[in-house]
Amino acid sequence: MYRRKVFYYETDQMGIVHHSNYIRWFEEARIDYMDQMGLGYDKMEEQGIISPVLSVEASYLRMLHFGDSVQIETWVKEYNGIKLTVGYEIVSDRTGKVHCKGVTRHCFLERTGRPLALKQSCPEIHNLFMKALEEHRKAKK
């Protein structure tokens, strides 16, 4: 779980978090989650693996304001060795409710831009994602 506080610069004139910031928070939480898995982006990039974002979806359910604190739950939602979908829920410490939920979809590429199948090229990384996916499935039951 990733925790953060809403900063003033992230709000609009009405004091409400601007929608673009939730996407940034997804990235912050995803990087933290991968670090917790033992698989930081720096480690992947050292091995010549890049993971661009293919798409982002966000559902804005409730407003957040300057000074609010949130927890961002992050998990591997789907993974097939070539593509990865990460799920997010942003929960307010004040309300205890989900204020935003979303997903990001990613693929894996070599630095040259060629698609990469992690199962064959980096089994240790593949196994970390499979373990995270299985943990999420078990937690849902």
The whole-number average pLDDT for the span 42-61 is: 94
What is the tens place of the pLDDT at every residue in 125-138?
999 999 999 998 88
pLDDT of residue 40: 86
∠39-103-30 over CA atoms, to 5°?
A: 25
pTM: 0.93
Contacts of 57 (CB under 8 A, 6+ apart): 102, 103, 104
| Per annotation, catalytic residue among 12, 32, 42, 68 | 12
Q: What are phi and psi of 112, to 5 degrees?
A: -75, -10
pLDDT of residue 57: 98
Q: What are phi and psi of 52, to 5 degrees?
A: -70, 155
Q: Which domains does the chain have, with CATH numbers?
A: 2-140 (3.10.129.10)
Asked about 12 being catalytic, the answer comes back as yes
What six digits make up the tokens of 91? Answer: 């929960």
Q: Is 5 exposed, middle or buried (0-12, 13-18, 19+ CB in 10 A)?
A: exposed
CA distances from 134 to 10, 28, 44, 119, 126 (A): 35, 23, 21, 16, 12
75 versus 43: which is more confidently predicted?
A: 75
The whole-number average pLDDT for the span 18-44 is: 94
Quote the percentage of the chain above a pLDDT of 90.
84
pLDDT of residue 74: 97
